[in-house]
Structure 1
Amino acid sequence: MIKNTGAVNFRAGDGQPARKILAATSISYAIVLLDASVVNVGLEQIGATLNSGVSGLQWIVNAYTLSFASFLMTGGTLGDRLGARNIYLAGLMLFTLASALCGFAPSLGTLALARALQGIGSAMLVPCSLALINQAYPDPARRAAVIGMWMGCGGIAMASGPLLGGLLIHGFGWRSIFFVNLPLGLTGIWLTWPLPRDRAPGARHFDVAGQLAAIVALGSLIALLIEAPVLGWQSMPIVAGIALCGVAGLLFLRIETRQPQPMLPLSFFRNGLFAASALVSMVSALVFYGMLFAFSLYYQRVLGYAPLQTGLAFLPMTVMVAIGGLASSRLTRLSGARASMCAAFCLYAVGAAGMLLPEPGSPYWFAILPMLAIGLASGFISPAATAPAMGTVEQSCAGIAAAMLNSARQTGAALGVAICGALLATLQPFAHALHIVLGMVIVIALAAALLWWFSTRPSACLPRVQARSKTAALR
């Protein structure tokens, strides 16, 4: 949450405490986004070492994104109740400890559990990072520039993740991609520890029932998509899982509707623009991370690429993710949010269609242009969807809205890996399954473009959310 608690005076501006906050939060945000992409190039070696098939590898990726998405809203609430500095530090400690556990993991189950703990730590530190920056830089112009720097560090980390992972695995093995977090995490802890403890405002209610229902609903959905190809859709565990997912989902909606201070304020979705922004954010993450997972296995299992070669193969795409993010606001000003977003999803479709052309024996450069298109679309959509959504809510609820959009992205990433992994595990040969995945991406991307086009018509956008009684309860 980017809510200013006013609990601590960090000698705001550009003093030493403020600079330490910026350095610590930038480092932590970088390793959070690094872990979202770096593990993909190590999947084949992890699978060989821990004797895992595609479903096990899906859990290695999704244990992180699933716990990140499930606990993100709660992480912001804990920061509001117990102090942003305290929860940020606890989250960074948990993430660092979990990274060490990942590196030493002797089995697939241990690694998946450690990845889930990494996700919980990330969910605690990311919203509290924004809260600390908000406290340290009260001047709006300076704060905007600092947040840009903070997000830029994350973008660079995400873009360099596959290549850095390939280099580390090539030199030191797959466990090194987790051990590299230790010095970075300890540096962030060292920078944050001297800061004064912030007093807990205690204004926000902790929605325990909603949190538990959300974990069960989302976790069971991802588990169904991963395990159903292995166990069969008509098997008793899968049928029971479908029932559990449905009941938990309905219970979550009921709780959040009746809760005076809900974890997920459903009233925001009454605004068509906010709902469309959240949905396209989720869809973009679904297609991007789904393709990233599928391409990682394709390059390593079908083409026989080493992790370093795989990281280099992803370089055009990941570099364009960073460029797309930096150019997003300018492109939106030039062509408008409506047309540019639709064009970005069409780029997804064009990139996926282009990846249908290369055969296993084709030269690598056949894939460069499609990779560039996919990366540019991914980098552009996230900030382009955030700005209009944030304009639909009151300033006092901006932190909750931002957390909701981040949670939608992480949920999309988990769904993308689960769905694409299920197709790859079910359909054979692998090249045929990959074509089905790419065809699905084309359809989803074009559908998202149409949805955005019709949802952002002036007549379809509801007025700004002005429900003072409800927003006051969320403060």
Structure 2
Amino acid sequence: MLLLTLAIGFVMAMIDVTAVNTALSAIAIDLEVPLSGLVWVVDGYTLTFAALLLAGGALADRYGARRAYQGGLAVFVLGSVLCALAPGGGALVAARLLQGCGAALFMPSSLALLMHAVDDERQRARMFGLWSALVSAAATVGPLAGGLLVETFGWRSIFWLNLPLGVAGIVLTGWRAPAPPSHPRSLGLISHGLGAGALASLAFVLIDGPELGWTAPPVLAALATAMLLGVLLVRRERRAAQPVLPRALYGSAPFRAALVTGLMINVATFGQLFVVSLLMQQGHGIGALGTGLAILPMTAAAGIMNVLSGRAIAAYGTRMPLLAGLGGGAAAALLLTGAAAQTPPWLVVMGGTLLFVALGFAIPAMTATVMGAGGKALANSAGAALNANRQVGALLGVALAGTILHAVPDWGLRLALVYGAIAAGLACAWLAVWHGVRQPAAAPAALLADQVMEG
């Protein structure tokens, strides 16, 4: 019961993220949302999630993990209800922003609650493995569940589903989960605000730039704002007595390489999911259920490879799985650049599945590298930085895909440009690992058991 309680938040978030992709065409028709609006529907959630994830961890430390978890679930449920009731595209995007705020609160605290609930190391590792399997299963069935709901009850049903799940999670957490003691710490609100503002401004440039024009005054103003806030954030963090990201992590080459890897993996993952979903529905006229079935082998392949990667890490360390996964992903993306508008959908799905196989093999090694660089003393900060960085990658991946789809009408050229950009990004990550991760390092058993979630 405790395991189920603490997995509810992640399960909701995973189903929500993957199911929304299957509902994009239905949302566009029902609410008359243009392509840039669809990008905001996906990226609005990711924007607030990425911007506030580190702050969510600090709030959990300061006010208690159980309070943060319950509060995050409440905010997420409220955002889901507002999504389901949204009368237009603007209201839907605003509600998605609220959902991201809730996820940023409950995700960092869920694992902390599980850590404090179990004292025995072996039992804890088993709990982590079961918890990760639940989350991985949710990510795998998310597209299929979304397709079934959209075709049976309409796109609003994917958000109504979160209401009973979230309420059950709030009640069960108060009943079953322990309340770990709080640890007062500086929240760094100014730094978090600067980072959120810079990320939001950059998102506006990437998403609305193609529609408004890259030289339009609002776009240029947003770009200048993003650059200014980014400079101010860097200066403040360098001078801060307690920076948001500990200085000890800055000098670690493996840590930097793993962050680049996480960014590029999520650019590839979420960029591909967005493009394939629209290709199936708008390019080939396939319904929401068929789109969910098409995405299913991709997400399933990533989950399976997460598990198999753990054995490779134990035998060879993290360097080999990272290089193999990133190299294989770049090769699969290059293969997909040859797809044309007339290419059968199943061939695109097969190539996309190969891409997810490769990336799924690299993800646990990437996380193990980050956690190894942080050590026990900086494990929380290192993990939070990786997850926040990956959410930024998800935002950039969808925004990049949306920019290409907006600029190019032909699906063959669209696929070539999207997958060419993915291949280039993964090649950059491969080079970062080649130069930065010199010594192989095996991951702790408890960490490896937790890696399915990262997929």
User: Fold match, TM over 0.5?
Assistant: yes
Looking at structure 1, the residues matched to 212 and 270 of structure 2 have their Cα atoms a distance apart, in angstroms, of: 24
CA distance in 1, matches of 2:439, 2:341: 47
CA contact (8 A) 1:276 1:451 kept: yes
1:246 maps to which of 227, 232, 249: 227
TM-score between the two structures when normalised by the length of structure 1: 0.89
Which of 89, 96, 103 pairs up with 1:122?
103
What RMSD over aligned residues (CA atoms) do the two structures have, in Å? Answer: 1.8
Partner secondary structure for residue 205 of structure 1: coil
Query: Residue in 1 aligned with 2:81?
Result: 100
Query: Which stretch of the first structure deviates more once superposed, 254-263 or 128-137?
Result: 254-263
CA 1:81/1:350 → structure 2, altered by over 3 Å: closer, same or farther? same
In structure 2, give the amino acid aligned to 1:258. Answer: R
Determine whether 1:323 maps to 2:309: no
Indicate conservation of the 8 Å contact 1:86/1:197, yes or no.
Answer: no
Q: Greater shift after overlay, 187-196 or 293-302?
A: 187-196
Paired with 2:99 and 2:151, the residues of 1 have a C-alpha distance of: 24
CA distance in 1 between counterparts of 2:108 and 2:125 reads 16
Match of 2:143 among 135, 158, 162: 162
Partner letter of residue 196 of structure 2?
Answer: I
**What one-letter code is carried by the residue in structure 2 that aligns with 1:284?**
I
Give the residue type in structure 2 aligned to 1:267. Answer: A
* Unmatched runs of 5 consecutive residues or more in structure 2: 442-455
2:291 to 286, 299, 310: 310
Whether the aligned pair in 2 keeps the contact of 1:351 and 1:369 (CA below 8 Å) is: no
In structure 1, C-alpha distance between the alignment counterparts of 2:274 and 2:126, rounded to whole Å = 33
> What's the CA shift string for 1:152-203, capped at 9, x where partnerless?
2111111111111111111111111111111111221121123588475342
CA shift in 2, pair 1:335/1:364, >3 Å: farther
CA deviation map 1:120-148 (0-9, x unaligned): 11111111101101110122222222122
1:351 pairs with one of 327, 332, 349? 332
- The equivalent residue for 2:131 is 150
- For 2:274, the equivalent position in structure 1 comes to 293
Q: Which residue of 2 aligns with 1:28?
A: 9
Residue 406 of structure 1: how far off its partner (Å): 0.7
Instruction: Report how far residue 333 of structure 1 moved.
Output: 3.2
Shift of 1:309: 0.7
Contact 1:320 1:375 in 2 (8 A): yes
Which residue type is aligned with residue 272 of structure 2?
Answer: M
CA displacement at 1:26 relative to structure 2: 1.1
Q: How does 1:193-212 map to 2 (within 5 A)?
A: 193-195=174-176, 198=179, 201-212=182-193
Is 1:376 paired with 2:342? no
The answer (yes or no) to whether the contact 2:117–2:178 under 8 Å persists in 1 is no
Q: Distance in 2 between matches of 1:133 and 1:50?
A: 41
Counterpart contact for 2:205–2:223, Cα < 8 Å: yes
| Paired amino acid for 1:152 | A
Distance 2:430 2:382 in 1: 22
Partner of 2:21: 40
- Alignment of 1:278 onto 2:256: no
Instruction: Specify every segment of 5 or more residues in structure 1 that has no aligned partner in the other structure, as ranges.
Output: 1-18, 462-475
Q: Can you list the C-alpha shifts for 1:313-372, whole angstroms capped at 9, x where unaligned?
A: 112211101101111211333454222211111222232233334433343432343122
Which of 366, 377, 401 matches 1:385?
A: 366
For 1:196 and 1:456, locate their aligned partners in 2 and report how far apart those are by CA, in whole Å: 38
Q: Which residue of 2 aligns with 1:341?
A: 322
Map residues 10-89 of structure 1 onto 2, 5 A cutoff: 19-20=1-2, 22-89=3-70
One-letter amino acid matched to 2:228:
V
1:432: how far off?
1.4
CA distance in 1, matches of 2:346, 2:45: 32
Contact preservation (8 Å) 1:351, 1:373: yes
Determine if contact 2:205/2:219 at 8 Å carries over to the other structure. Answer: yes
Of 191, 195, 206 in structure 2, the residue corresponding to residue 214 of structure 1 is 195
String of CA shifts for 1:381-432, please: whole Å, max 9, x gaps.
2221011211122313211211111111111000100111111111222331
Question: Secondary structure of the residue that 1:193 maps to in structure 2?
Answer: helix
Aligned counterpart in structure 1 of residue 209 of structure 2, from 203, 228, 232: 228
Q: For residues 177 and 277 of structure 2, what CA distance do their matches in structure 1 show?
A: 44
| Structure 1, 450-459 or 130-139: larger mean CA deviation | 450-459
The yes-or-no answer on 1:412 pairing with 2:398 is no
Work out the CA distance in 2 between the residues paired with 1:202 and 1:260. Answer: 18
Matches within 5 A, 1:387-406: 387-406=368-387
SS of aligned partner of 1:106: coil
8 A contact 1:354–1:367 mirrored in 2: no
Whether the 8 Å contact between 1:43 and 1:57 is mirrored in structure 2 is yes
Instruction: Please give the alpha-carbon distance, in whole angstroms, between the structure 2 residues aligned to 1:364 and 1:394.
Output: 45
